[in-house]
Amino acid sequence: MQKLLFYMFLFILPAGFFSHLSAQVRVAIAEFKNESSAFYLDQWEKSIPDLLQEKLSRSSDLIILERRKLKAVLEEKALSMAGLTDSTSIQEIGKLLDAEYVITGAIHKFRNRYRIDASIVKVNSAETRSEKVDAPDRDHLPQMVDLLANNILYDLTGRGKYKSRIKLNRAPTKYFLLGTVGLAVATGLVRAAYEKKLDEYHQNTRLDQFDDLYRQANRSQKLSVGLAGLTGAALVGTVYCWIKNLSPREILAENSGQKSVIPYLAANFKIEVKIGLQIRF
Q: Quick one: which H or E segment has residue 19?
A: helix 15-19
Give the residue-averaged pLDDT of 181-201: 84
Q: Are the beta carbons of 118 and 99 closer than 8 angstroms?
A: no
pLDDT digits (tens, 9 = 90+) for 27-67: 999 889 999 999 999 999 999 999 999 999 999 999 999 88
Query: Which candidate, 143, 112, 147, places its Cα nearest to that of 132?
Result: 147
224-253 burial, b if ≥16 CB within 10 A, otherwise e?
Answer: beebbebbeebbebbeebeeeeeeebebbb
Judged against a pLDDT cut of 80, whether residue 153 lies above it is answered with yes
If you count them, how many residues does the chain have? Answer: 281
Query: Which candidate, 162, 160, 155, places its Cα nearest to that of 25?
Result: 155
> So where are the chain's domains?
23-169+250-255, 173-244
What pLDDT is attached to residue 56? 95
Give the contacts of 156 (CB within 8 A, at least 6 positions apart).
Answer: 25, 27, 61, 62, 101, 120
| pTM attached to this predicted model | 0.62
pLDDT digits (tens, 9 = 90+) for 58-113: 999 999 998 887 777 777 665 655 555 566 777 888 888 889 999 999 999 988 89
pLDDT confidence bin for 274, thresholds 50/70/90: very low
For the chain, what is the mean pLDDT?
79
Homologous superfamily (CATH) of 23-169+250-255 is: TolB, N-terminal domain (3.40.50.10070)
